[in-house]
Structures are given as C-alpha cells and as structure tokens.
C-alpha cells in the first residue's frame, strides 16, 4: 500500500510522546525521524529536508509559555520559508493557536491528540508540501524556459559572416509586424528562422502556427486555412477553425508557398487584403490579426516573370526578404553543426561517441551538401548508427562520396528547371529503389510534395 505521508520530523522532549507518534505514523509515512533535543534542529535541517515537521511548543526550559516553540518555529522558517510546521502542546489555547498561525505555522494540535485527527492533519499538511514542491518545480521550469527563449537564436547554429548577416536582419524586423519572406534551398532552416523571428517579436507570448503548403491539397486548402462549418462538405462532421483563426494574435508561417496554384494564390491574397476569413459553409467574415511569415525554395521572382506566381501576392508577403545561405556558402559552420548533431544522436542512440576526427571534418567540409543542414543532420545520424568506433572517422561517411560527383555533362548543360527537377527526382527514386519516403527525405521534400512532382513530371 502506498504511504500517503512523506518524510516526517518530530521534535519533542517527551520520549513517550516521540515513541507513541512514531509507532502511529510509521504505518502511514515513508519515514519518521524523532529528536528529543531542539538544539539539533539546525543540524537536521542542514542535512535533510522534510515534508512535515511536528514541533513541540514547550520544552524543559519553559514549560507553559510556548516561547521556545515560537523561537524554533522562526528558526525553521528562516532556513526554509516553505517548511510545513505543525505545533503541538499540552497547554494550547485559542490565543496561542492564532499567534502560531500568524507566525507561519501550518496548523496546531493539542496533546493528547486523537489519532484519526492527527493523521488527517498530517495528510493535509503533506499535500500542502507537495503543492509547494510542484509550484517550485513549475517556477524553475518557467525561469529555464524564459532563459532559453531569451537566448538569441539558440536553435540556430552558426557564427559565419553569412549567418551573422541573417541574425542582424532578424533583429531589425522581429519587433515589427512586417510580413517576411524567407528564401533558401531545401534544408537551410527556414522554419527555424521563422520561429526565431516569432520568439523575438511582440507576439512571442502567443501562438506560432506552421503550415506546409506543399502538403495541402487543392480541395482541402480552404478548409485547412480558413475553417469550415459542420456539414459544409461530406467529411465536415463538426465546426472547425482554420489555421488563420488559430494563429489569431500570433504568427502564421506558410512554408513552401511557391507551390500554390494561381487559384489558391488568389484566395490567399483576398484574405491578406481583407484581414478576415470566412469559414466554408458560412457567410460570416471573421477578423484575423496575424503576423505572416512565408518561405519557399523556389525562384519566386522568376515565377512572377513567367506568370506562375502573382506579383500582387508577392508584394503582400515580402515586405522584408531574408535569404538564407546554403551550407556550402558557410563551410566554417560545419564543425559546430556536426558536433551538435553528434551529441544529439549519440544521446538518442545511447552510444559513447566523442566527436569527429580531423579527417572526417575535412571530408565534410569538401562535400557540397546539396541538401544543406538537413542532409548533414541525416548524414551524422546514419554515421552514428553504423559506426563501431568511439569517434566518427572519414570512412563513416563513405556514402557521401557518390552523391558528391557532378551530374553528367548532358544534364549540367541543360538549364531547363523542369527537366533538371525531373532528372533529380528520377535519380533519387533509382537510388532508393522506388521508395517514396526515402527519396522524399533525400530530396528534402514531404511525401505529398514528391507525389505532386511525380504527377507533374509523369514519373
């Protein structure tokens, strides 16, 4: 049977009282410590902590006034302001009880006590102590969280000049409500940058909602982003708020926005212009207050020139543009990133890996990283899983060599983006034996995005 009382300390100069209390409480408490000499209280408190302290009010020096009890009560509370102390005396009265509570005692009992009443009092006191501990834990967690949040760019690793330019731009725009467009290749950390902007913004205490636009089908676009009313379509079994509503007063991050078709771009533009959404199945507009951050790995300016992306929508989403450097443009950050991922995956897979050899780091620096930081992360994870050594060596990254070879001349001389994309997808599928999940991971795409591209290219 689980004992409901924790660790109890009893201080009384009457040995009979101590023994009787211990005999009663040991069945209900995890541990009962008894002490006859109150002068040992400082020693006891310095060396241990207690859930409840039962303290006699009158010792041999002063039998009836309770002064000694109040003295030791103050001593205990000076050392531990959250100590739960119950005073006991054979000469209690209402006035002394009130004074004891005012001075910080949790409760007051009379000798001789009734066993059931004493147990009930201790049970309540023990729960109070547990609540103090929980509050203390939550406060410490809150402080740690605040500390972590206030660390500038704590989740973004890199001290290269290219990354410092990005940090400076984030500092300039974060405190504004300007719409941000983040540009960069797959795997460069666009969502991390978006979250950093949110955490440094005036909306940091509200929600950050991320949406992968590449994973939302045309038919579900309005339902996912704007919400719907029950019965609006076949599977609408209940009212549902869209992402814009959920992000109200916070930050909405639209990733892979370059994948939107022109009709969907028009619908998104209307919402951004009017600052309101209308759920499917209703005619009632709902005002929205969001900070919008978008991201894409696609050549958005070229898409505008080719009429594949609306210029008026581009004006709406890129008040400020942040271009993320590819990993090959910040090679000096590779050692720091690699060590971070080694520590992370060594812990995950419970392996004692001390780091990377110089040869391994040299190999990683020379590799072009078409998949950027995400590819580096996957490479480190794979190496950690497969290695039989306590340090990652160059041979642990043998699988990077083939990928680093240039494309055949017939492909590199072809600058048609659609054909290049089709060839790269075809090669990824061949490499992974047609496995969609592995090919998508290699390409830095979601499964849904890869499926759309397969359909687009007839693969």
- pLDDT tens readout for residues 282-313: 888 999 999 999 999 999 999 999 999 999 99
Three-state DSSP class for residue 294: strand
Q: What's the token pair of residue 282?
A: 């209703």
Query: Residue for token digits 């995956």?
Result: 345
Q: What is the pTM of this model?
A: 0.58
Interval 333-358 mean pLDDT: 93
Confidence bin at 396 (pLDDT 50/70/90): very high
CB-based contact 25:34 (threshold 8 Å) = no
| 3 state SS for 396-412 | HHCCHHHHCCCCCHHHH
Confidence bin at 146 (pLDDT 50/70/90): low
Range with the poorest average pLDDT among 49-58, 94-103, 137-146, 425-434: 137-146
Residue 79's contacts (CB-CB under 8 Å, 6 or more residues apart) are 42, 45, 46
What's the burial of 363, exposed, middle or buried (CB within 10 Å: 0-12/13-18/19+)?
buried
Whether 191 shows a pLDDT value over 90: the answer reads: yes
CA distances from 215 to 254, 383, 430, 446 (A): 11, 30, 23, 7
Confidence bin at 235 (pLDDT 50/70/90): confident
Gap between the Cα atoms of 58 and 62, Å rounded: 6
Q: What pLDDT is attached to residue 67?
A: 77
Interval 248-267 mean pLDDT: 93
Interval 367-391 mean pLDDT: 93
Confidence bin at 423 (pLDDT 50/70/90): confident
Q: What pLDDT is attached to residue 8?
A: 92
Extents of the domains making up the chain: 5-142, 161-323
In b/e form, how buried is each residue of 66-83, taking b as 16+ CB within 10 angstroms?
bebbbebbeebeeeeeeb
More confident residue, 440 or 92: 440
CB atoms within 10 A of CB 114: 11
Q: What pLDDT is attached to residue 310?
A: 95
CATH code at 161-323: 3.40.50.300
Residues forming beta bridges with residue 8, ordered by sequence position = 32, 52
Interval 125-137 mean pLDDT: 85
Interval 258-274 mean pLDDT: 93
Degrees, nearest 5: CA angle 291-147-246: 30
Residues forming beta bridges with residue 322, ordered by sequence position = 182
Interval 90-112 mean pLDDT: 77
Query: Residue for token digits 């020379």?
Result: 366
Confidence bin at 56 (pLDDT 50/70/90): confident
Confidence bin at 404 (pLDDT 50/70/90): very low
Gap between the Cα atoms of 379 and 122, Å rounded: 57
Whether 438 shows a pLDDT value over 50: the answer reads: yes
Whether 89 shows a pLDDT value over 80: the answer reads: no
Whether 433 shows a pLDDT value over 70: the answer reads: no
Q: What pLDDT is attached to residue 60?
A: 64
Range with the poorest average pLDDT among 119-123, 215-219, 355-359: 215-219
Q: Do domains 5-142 and 161-323 have the same CATH topology?
A: yes
Interval 200-216 mean pLDDT: 90
Residue 253's contacts (CB-CB under 8 Å, 6 or more residues apart) are 191, 194, 195, 198, 208, 209, 210, 211, 293, 294, 295
Pick the CATH number of 5-142 from 3.40.50.1010, 3.40.720.10, 3.40.50.300, 3.40.50.2300: 3.40.50.2300
Q: What letter would DSSP give residue 219?
A: G
Q: What pLDDT is attached to residue 144?
A: 56
């Amino acid at each position: 049977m689980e004992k409901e009382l924790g660790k109890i300390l009893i201080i009384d100069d009457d040995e009979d009282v101590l023994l009787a209390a211990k005999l009663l409480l040991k069945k209900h408490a995890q541990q009962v410590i008894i002490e006859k000499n109150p002068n040992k209280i400082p020693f006891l408190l310095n060396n241990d902590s207690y859930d409840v302290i039962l303290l006699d009010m009158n010792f041999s020096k002063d039998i009836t006034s309770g002064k000694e009890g109040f003295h030791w009560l103050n001593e205990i509370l000076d050392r531990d302001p959250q100590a739960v102390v119950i005073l006991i005396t054979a000469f209690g009265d209402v006035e002394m009880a009130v004074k004891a509570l005012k001075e910080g005692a949790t409760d007051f009992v009379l000798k001789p006590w009734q066993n059931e009443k004493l147990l009930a009092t201790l049970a309540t006191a023990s729960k109070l102590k547990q609540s103090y501990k929980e509050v203390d834990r939550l406060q410490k967690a809150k402080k740690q969280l605040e500390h972590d949040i206030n660390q500038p760019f704590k989740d973004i690793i890199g001290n290269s000049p290219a990354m410092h330019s990005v940090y400076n731009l984030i500092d300039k725009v974060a405190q504004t409500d300007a719409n941000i467009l983040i540009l960069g290749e797959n795997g460069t950390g666009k969502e991390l940058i978006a979250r950093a902007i949110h955490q440094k913004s005036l909306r940091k205490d509200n929600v950050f909602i991320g949406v992968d636009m590449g994973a939302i089908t045309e038919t579900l676009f309005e339902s996912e982003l704007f919400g719907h009313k029950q019965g609006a379509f076949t599977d609408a079994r209940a009212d549902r708020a869209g992402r814009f509503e959920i992000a109200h007063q916070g930050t909405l991050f639209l990733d892979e926005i370059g994948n939107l078709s022109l009709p969907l771009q028009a619908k998104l533009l209307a919402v951004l212009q009017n600052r309101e959404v209308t759920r499917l199945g209703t005619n009632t507009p709902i005002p929205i207050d969001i900070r919008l951050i978008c991201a894409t790995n696609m050549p958005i300016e070229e898409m505008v020139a080719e009429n594949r992306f609306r210029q008026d929508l581009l004006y709406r989403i890129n008040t400020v543009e942040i271009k993320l450097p590819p990993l090959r443009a910040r090679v000096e950050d590779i050692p720091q990133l690699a060590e971070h991922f080694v520590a992370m995956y060594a812990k995950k897979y419970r392996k004692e890996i001390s780091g990377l050899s110089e040869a391994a780091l040299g190999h990683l620096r020379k590799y072009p990283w078409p998949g950027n930081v995400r590819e580096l992360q996957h490479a480190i994870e794979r190496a950690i899983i497969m290695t039989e050594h306590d340090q990652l060596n160059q041979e642990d990254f043998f699988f990077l060599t083939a990928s680093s070879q240039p494309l055949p001349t017939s492909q590199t001389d072809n600058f048609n983006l659609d054909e290049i994309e089709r060839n790269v997808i075809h090669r990824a599928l061949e490499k992974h034996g047609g496995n969609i999940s592995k090919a998508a991971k290699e390409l830095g795409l979601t499964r849904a995005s890869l499926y759309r591209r397969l359909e687009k290219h007839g693969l």
